[in-house]
Every structure is written in structure tokens, then in C-alpha cells.
């Protein structure tokens, strides 16, 4: 079986957004709790401070934050969530689905 490249979870948000903060905290906890640090990288992007992040966020065609992009580095396929903070249970099941944990 080939070595998995893993994924990036990219959170496009704002410093003042409570849901954005909760989303980032839940993702960090899920990565640590499920011991997938070698496979899953959290990328935090502030659309108010980073023009490149704002440009990427604009492509999503929404004004809702956060936008969370789950980018699979093996397939280059992405899925997105908008305006939510994913739960620890959801993230664990997602990691199981991707084959990162049992």
C-alpha cells in the first residue's frame, strides 16, 4: 500500500469570529486526540489580514465564515463546510473514512 500524503484542513476566518475560533480549536484537538499529526495539517487563514487568503476565500462565493476546506493531498479533491465548527466526533469519523485511523 502506498504511503498516504494526508490532508490539509484550511480554515478561512476572521480573528473576531467566535465560530472560527471554535472550529480551529476543535480541529487542533481532533488532530492531537486521534494522533494524526503526521497526516493532517491545520492551516489558519485570516481573511482580514491576509490578501492572498481573502482572494482564495472569494472564490468560494460566500460571505459566511468560517469556510473550512478539507483538502486531500493524495487525490487533490476538496470538500468544504461553511459557517460551522466541526465536532470532535465528526472529525474523528472523517479521519476514519480517510483511512488515517481505525
pLDDT at 2: 61
pTM: 0.92
Torsion of CA 38, 42, 43, 47, to 10 degrees: 180
pLDDT score for 102: 87
List the domain boundaries for the chain: 7-92
CATH fold label, 7-92? Glutaredoxin (3.40.30)
Nearest to 28 by CA among 13, 43, 12: 43
Q: What CA–CA distance (Å, rounded) separates 6 from 84?
A: 23
Determine the pLDDT at residue 3: 77
Distance CA 99, CA 4 (A): 9
Positions in the chain short of pLDDT 70: 1-2
The predicted pLDDT at position 49 comes to 97
Residue 94's nearest CA partner among 30, 45, 49 is 30
Amino acid at each position: 500500500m502506498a504511503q498516504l500524503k494526508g490532508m490539509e484542513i484550511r480554515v478561512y476566518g476572521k480573528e473576531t469570529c467566535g465560530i472560527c475560533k471554535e472550529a480551529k480549536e476543535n480541529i487542533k484537538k481532533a488532530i492531537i486526540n486521534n494522533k494524526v499529526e503526521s497526516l493532517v495539517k491545520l492551516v489558519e487563514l485570516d481573511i482580514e489580514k491576509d490578501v492572498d487568503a481573502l482572494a482564495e476565500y472569494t472564490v468560494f462565493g460566500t460571505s459566511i465564515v468560517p469556510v473550512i476546506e478539507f483538502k486531500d493531498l493524495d487525490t487533490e479533491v476538496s470538500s468544504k463546510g461553511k459557517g460551522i465548527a466541526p465536532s470532535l466526533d465528526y472529525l474523528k469519523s472523517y479521519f476514519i473514512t480517510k483511512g488515517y485511523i481505525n
